[in-house]
Amino acid sequence: MVRGGRDILSSVVASQDDVHRKYGGVVPELASREHLRRIVPVVREALERARLDFGGIEAIGVTRGPGLIGSLLVGYTYGQTLAAALGKPLVPVNHLEGHVHAVFLEAQQGRESAGGGAAGGAGAAAGRALPELPAVCLIVSGGHTVLYEVRAANGHVAAPAPAEYPAFRCTYARIGATRDDAAGEAYDKVAKLLALGYPGGPVMDQLAAHGNPEAVSFTPPHTRGNPFDFSFSGIKTAVLRHVQQHPAFKGGIAVRQEALRGGARRAADLLSMCTRATLDLVASFQRAVVSDLVHRTIAAAEERAARCVLVSGGVAANSELRGTFAREASARALPVFFPSRALSTDNAAMIAAAAYPRLLAGEIASNGIGAEANLPLA
Ligand code: KG4
Ligand code: ZN
């Protein structure tokens, strides 16, 4: 539940990690079944935590796409039905626009209320700086790795006043995207290969701190035709080849597989079961992925003369990614903004925040519009 596009009254996330863990990746059929099972209690809990009842809802933001069609249909149909029952507007939102708004939402937390913010350009007000536009946004998760140029709609000039932020309507131009695996998907596949559990990112993030990131070198991905496209399947395959060429990895993989079956989850549990070679491989993989993400994003920001960089999506929780962006961007006087870790991974607050400017602009769903698996961001 989000008030006025900026105050998070409650944020409830129903993780499906336990359901998909034994498969090492999301199983679409199980995902939609889980959505169906959890959607009603999750909405009820969000209302309870916000101390509201259904009558307190002004409008309903709902993800229209992109994503897995079964899960989208469950959410969309529920939102549509609730809106009809309450007689409230339904605002369809692009999932990726939600990730962009997660950054705006985060930047507004802890500031004065919308009407009371200091006057002047973004970043000039007391409290945290606000992102100025145009921005380049990297959305990096298990399903996406994509770069967008984010501009103000309606010819709005670069820096909206702080009070304008929640109502801020943006337009998006795609600069580049992964040609194969998303970065989070590569993390999850490498974690499966090395028996480090699911999802792979958070555990590998912690294990990487114990290894030498320069121990194994990977050929940087080439994306001929568009330097702002990504490709991670080559790095993933190189990890596989490295493991196959060094039979010593086998023993550790078997030990960890057994531990995972016994319920081991945390990096601290797996650390003692990892050899130096394994930790070095994890650290080197992470270095290769992170430096590719950071360098292409900063190059895109420079090419588009962006005023800042926004980074969002599950992989934006990665500590090396955050550290490297902060270092590289500050060396170029380019501000970089992340959501909190909780707002980086998929959540409903970012969808509500993205819905708010569209609600104000009257972009309400007409009856025929439904979920779309491949919805482009426009
Ligand atoms: O955005 P998200 O919650 O869901 C979608 O994929 O849409 O992102 C989940 C992805 C998973 O692939 C997970 O391994 C990755 O984000 N992830 C991380 C970290 N935390 C989550 N990857 C690297 N480092 C992390 N700390
Ligand atoms: Zn997402």
**pLDDT tens readout for residues 132-166:** 999 999 999 999 999 999 998 866 656 677 777 78
- pTM equals 0.92
Q: Is the pLDDT of residue 9 over 60?
A: yes
295-347 residue pLDDT tens: 999 999 999 999 999 999 999 999 999 999 999 988 999 999 999 999 999 99
38-48: b (≥16 Cβ within 10 Å) or e: bbeeebeebbe
Nearest to 237 by CA among 290, 276, 181: 181
Q: Which ligand is nearest to the CA of 20?
A: 1
Mean confidence (pLDDT) of the chain: 92
pLDDT of residue 161: 74
Residue 117: predicted pLDDT: 33
Cα end-to-end distance, the chain, whole Å:
25
State phi, psi for 15 to the nearest 5 degrees: -75, 140
- Whether 113 shows a pLDDT value over 80: the answer reads no
Ligand 1 atom nearest 140 alpha carbon? 1
- Greater confidence (90 vs 111) lies with 90
The residue nearest atom 13 of ligand 1, judged by CA position, is 201
Helix, coil or strand: residue 40: helix
Distances (CA, A) of 290 to 40, 83, 93, 319, 341: 38, 42, 29, 10, 17
Q: Which of 187, 190, 343 to mutate to test the pocket of ligand 1 (most atoms within 8 A of CB)?
A: 187
Judge whether 160 and 336 are in contact, CB under 8 Å: no
- Which-ligand-closest: CA of 13? 1
pLDDT band at 116 (very low <50, low <70, confident <90, very high): very low
Confidence of residue 24 (pLDDT cuts 50, 70, 90): confident
Token pair belonging to 277: 């070679």
pLDDT of residue 236 exceeding 90: yes
Tens digit of each residue's pLDDT (9 = 90 or more) over 259-291: 999 999 899 999 999 999 999 999 999 999 999
Kind and range of the H or E element at 73? helix 69-86
Tokens for 206, please give them: 């912690």
Binning pLDDT at 50, 70 and 90, where does residue 123 land? Answer: very low
Q: Which residue has the higher pLDDT, 190 or 377?
A: 190
Which residues does a 6 A CB cutoff place in the pocket of ligand 1? 141-143, 184, 187-188, 199-202, 205, 313-315, 317-318, 345-346
Question: What would the pLDDT profile of 161-175 be if each residue is shown by its tens digit?
Answer: 777 778 888 999 999
**Mean per-residue pLDDT, 366-374:** 80
Across 22-51, average pLDDT: 95
CA 107 to chain centre: 16
Residue 242 Cα to ligand 1 midpoint, Å, equals 24
Token pair listed for 92:
């369809």
pLDDT at residue 245 is higher than 50: yes
Please give the pLDDT value at position 378: 80
What are the pLDDT digits (tens) for 343-357? 999 999 999 999 999
**For residues 189-195, average pLDDT:** 97
Which ligand places an atom closest to the C-alpha of 200? 1
* The Cα angle at residue 302 between residues 298 and 304, in degrees rounded to 5: 115
The pair of three-digit structure tokens given for residue 354, joined into one six-digit string: 């993205």
- Range in 172-176, 177-181, 193-197, 218-222 the model is least confident about: 218-222
pLDDT on residue 111: 73
CA–CA separation, 281 and 298 (whole Å) = 26
Q: Whose CA is nearest to atom 1 of ligand 1?
A: 314
The answer, yes or no, to whether residue 70 has pLDDT greater than 90, is yes
